[in-house]
Amino acid sequence: MDGLVIAIDPGKRIGVAWVAGDGRLVRHEVVDAATLASYAFPSEARVVVGDGTGSAAISDGLRDRGVVHELVDEYGTTEEARELYWRDHPPRGWWRLVPLGLRPPPRSLDDYAAYAIALRARSTRPHDRRSRTHGASKRSSGRS
CA angle 124, 112, 98 (to 5 degrees): 115
72 within a domain of the structure (yes/no):
yes
pTM recorded for the entire structure? 0.83
Which CATH number goes with the domain that contains 93?
Answer: 3.30.420.140
Q: Are 66 and 24 in contact (CB under 8 A)?
A: no
What average pLDDT does range 95-104 have in this prediction? 85
Least confidently predicted of 24-38, 62-76, 113-127: 113-127
**Average pLDDT of the segment spanning 31-36:** 96
Task: Report the domain count for the chain.
Answer: 1
Residue 144 within a domain: no
**For 53-77, how does the pLDDT look when each residue is reduced to its tens digit (9 = 90+)?**
999 999 999 999 999 999 999 999 9
User: Rounded CA gap, 83 and 116, in Å?
Assistant: 10
Residue 130, pLDDT above cutoff 80? no
Which residue range forms the structural domain that includes residue 121?
5-139
Domain-located, residue 18:
yes
- Output the CA–CA distances (angstroms, integers) from residue 20 to 32, 118, 130, 142, in the order listed: 23, 10, 21, 33
Residue 104 in domain = yes
Give the model's confidence band at 135: pLDDT under 50 very low, under 70 low, under 90 confident, else very high: low
21 within some domain? yes
Between 95 and 100, name the one with better pLDDT.
95
46 within domain boundaries: yes
| CA distance to 22, 33, 52, 81, 136, per residue, from 124 (Å) | 14, 27, 18, 19, 21
